[in-house]
Structure 1
Amino acid sequence: MAPTPARLPLKKGISLRWLPFFFIFLQSVLYGFGDPISKAAYEVLPVFSLLTVRYGIAFLFLLLIFNKRVVQGIKAASLKDWLLPSLCIGGSYVLSNIALELTAATSVAFLRSLSTIMTPLLALAVYRKKFGKKHVPVQLLVIVGLYLLCGQGGLSAFGLGEILTLISALLLAGSLIFGEKALDRVDPVTLTALQALTSFVLALVCAFAFDGGMQLGAATPMVWGIIVYMAIGCTVAGYLLQNAALGHISSRTVALLQCICPVLTALFSRILLDERLSLLGMVGAVIILLCVAAETLMKDDA
């Protein structure tokens, strides 16, 4: 069987070694911009009604653009190839949104970022995939940076919201390690479409369970614009960039690189919402950026 596009080797020059890292940086830019602008939409629409439309648009867009490729890919893929990474990524976002209703956003942001540590541990537990000791200090230091940026002493209680966030972080780690494995057999565009479809189904179930059904009547043209950006920019492009990167660098590296997302969220929040970082937050952001820079310079081996 021919290799999937995500697994094709990069042969056209040393500069392409950095392409997977750029994919995750671009994904973080898309998410970082999407976080502050999505606040306006969440103030108008129930969260799961919004997510249902977001993922529905994303799947239909992929089906429209890559119709033949997606249909053929779905026919060729077996259930065991794509179900776990799809359930993990959909479940992660659903649970994190439930957690936001139960606890502080800073707690959710920090605890969900613990997927950075959970990813290599889960890979070790499931696939016996070891990682070099040289990566451990970077992994631990980035958690310190994330705590300064997102936590800043805000974890004064530990309840259901925090538990759901930790489960969300574990599921996010699962989406990376199972997604990395799935790309040995599943086309990345097909995997992205199946992940969007699974997320749509989970969000739809939650919309009826928690929102009392689909509630879209209050949506304004601006809100619809935000939803389209979240669907095309964050879901379609975000998932595709992640799956493309997983074809060339490990799930552990992807998880750590994604820690730049809270930094970019803080930057865009400063620009768009005039939200200012504290001194500790700025120190945390610098630590994260230094850790990401160090990780990109290390060889991605055991």
Structure 2
Amino acid sequence: MEVSRVQRKSTRLSITEPMLLLVAIFWGTSYGLTKEALLFTSVFLFIAIRFSLTFILMLPILINDFRQGLNRDWRVAVPTGVILSAIFFCEVLGVSQTTASNAAFLISLSVILTALLEVIINKRNVSILLYVLAIASITGVFMLTRNTKEQFSLNTGDYFILIAACLRAIMVTTTKRLVVNREIATTSLTALQSLIVALSSLVITGFYLPLEDIHIPNKVEFWFIIMYLVIFCTLFAFFAQNYAVRRTSPTRVSLLMGSEPLFGALFAVIWLQESLSFIQMLGGVIIVVCVITTSLKVKS
């Protein structure tokens, strides 16, 4: 029996961590794709379309979860959905007004912020090694995203991204605190959060845009981007995050997903034919080492 438990735990860890790394890969590609999608529509309408489609696709699963009595504590999705709305408002507004390198660096601050919040909110002792890895990861991100030809400075978009990084840390830590020992399926949590983001985006869109000025884009490129973001960067990503945060520490979740700037840089090199300097490549290596180390050495 004891061997069986150990085997189950080992299997769970082997599933959780690759899922989070896939999230990092998909989110790494989302910055450039979001910028491209915003050429066709406004920030809040873009968010509304993305998350409305996410909710519609998950609606059959949500209904089935309720029929099976898996969602007695569905109300916990409300506060996390509100925080998620704020994250996306700040993140997409930031991406539309700043460079990809500044956005990647600032959003990665959520790694170390999560470690600090975990101590304060969840009253959990975080290992020194985890702090070291978080700081090293941030250093790697800075090296990876630093443009040596330009002076680093903060504009309006950068401040939005910085706020989003703080909210990401709050989101991961709060979700862990709210969902522990609660009866709500991970799929339902993802669907309800998406509904809250979609509704709040639609309300804001209707508030500042007259109805006759709200137009759904009809370009094929826009809808290809939207479906990619919905399926891989929203549906899969938030299911994986909600799944993982219930099975490991919030700091570990954030650190593993903190490798997304590395994959963003690789996407830029392969898809956009951009080049990386030696310092940027070294920063990428540091991030990969931190991710591998936290997967193998750090206990949640």
Q: Which category of TM-score, normalised to the shorter sequence, fits these structures?
A: 0.7 to 0.9
Alpha carbons 1:69, 1:190 under 8 Å: kept: yes
Residue 189 of structure 1, CA deviation: 1.2
Counterpart CA distance in 2 for 1:10 and 1:60 is 38
Alpha carbons 1:36, 1:273 under 8 Å: kept: no
Letter in 2 for 1:163: Y
SS in 2 for 1:76: coil
Aligned residue-pair number = 292
Letter in 1 for 2:261: P
Letter in 2 for 1:225: F
Alpha carbons 2:84, 2:171 under 8 Å: kept: yes
SS in 2 for 1:131: coil
Alignment of 1:1-302 (within 5 A): 11-12=7-8, 14-70=10-66, 76-77=72-73, 79=75, 81-152=76-147, 156-184=152-180, 185=182, 186-209=184-207, 215-301=214-300
Residue 134 of structure 1, CA deviation: 1.9
Residue 256 of structure 1, CA deviation: 0.5
Partner in structure 2 of residue 5 of structure 1: none
Partner in structure 2 of residue 3 of structure 1: none
Alpha carbons 1:70, 1:193 under 8 Å: kept: no
Residue 168 of structure 1, CA deviation: 0.9
TM-score normalised by L of structure 1: 0.87
Letter in 1 for 2:45: S
Alpha carbons 1:49, 1:211 under 8 Å: kept: no
Gap runs ≥5 in structure 2: none
Letter in 1 for 2:191: A
RMSD: 2.5
Residue 14 of structure 1, CA deviation: 3.3
Residue 297 of structure 1, CA deviation: 1.3
SS in 1 for 2:41: coil
Identical-pair percentage: 25
Gap runs ≥5 in structure 1: 1-8
Cα offsets for 1:165-188 (capped at 9, x unmatched): 222111111111111223321321
Counterpart CA distance in 1 for 2:242 and 2:65 is 16
Alpha carbons 2:129, 2:298 under 8 Å: kept: no
SS in 2 for 1:277: coil
TM-score normalised by L of structure 2: 0.87
